[in-house]
Amino acid sequence: MRILVVDDDASMALIARRLLEEEGYGVDVAADGESARLLALVNDYDAIVLDLVLPDGNAIPLIQQLRREGRQTPITVLTGTTDKAVTVRALDAGADDYLTKPIEFDEFKARMRALVRRGGARRTETVTAGNVTLNRLAREVLVGGAAVRVTPRELGLLEHLLLHAGEVVTRTELLEKVFDLTFDPGTNVVDVTVGRLRRKLRDAGATVEIEARRGLGFVLAAVSR
């Protein structure tokens, strides 16, 4: 799952990004309304975190525009004001929830889980291959019905592979989509994470495995025995 954070305050955006990544979400960041609008129209986000005051104007017109253009992505607004009238206008414009700055970390995570669940009817809640199931809302991995503990990075990697089961996924794509990194031929983060996840799935008795395709990437395929 992927969330868009829109805030021109770099420190606030970084905090939100880290909290969401701790929950296993992929995160994109925009610093102004126009950049956010373009990203929201190109990408199918599971939620948007939107600061109400942006350098190119109030965020309320952006909410209205996204709704007019058919984007039903759940939106929570961040506000530093105690003026409830502003919050009411944002909710009336199409926002789904709001949080007052400074945010409380655990509440922020809980609100985001609730926000993503709110959009779950338009999403596939679970993805499955063989006896491996990932609940995208609960962020839980099951193998044969038993829970398997994975790190947020491993969860994001498995989610991407499950969504493309049977397809070869390149290292570059995984770096960009799962690890939010640009291509770096010197990094082995993908291989290390794949290795750890592969062992966990194998130890849990998974009927699928992550296969390496030399020079191409990785594919989630049925176990061949």
Q: Tell me the pLDDT tens digit for each residue of 53-96.
A: 899 888 999 999 888 888 888 999 998 877 778 888 888 999 98
pLDDT > 50? residue 30: yes
Yes or no: domain 126-222 corresponds to CATH 3.40.50.720: no
pTM of the model: 0.66
Domain ranges of the chain: 2-121, 126-222
pLDDT at 184: 59
For residue 165, pLDDT beyond 80: yes
Q: How confident is the model at residue 150 (pLDDT cuts 50, 70, 90)?
A: very high
Q: What is the mean pLDDT of residues 195-215?
A: 94
Indicate if the alpha-carbon torsion angle 155, 217, 2, 129 is positive or negative: negative
Of 75, 79, 81, 47, whose CA–CA distance to 62 is shortest?
75
pLDDT at 121: 42
The answer on pLDDT for 134 being more than 60 is yes
The superfamily CATH assigns to domain 2-121 is Response regulator (3.40.50.2300)
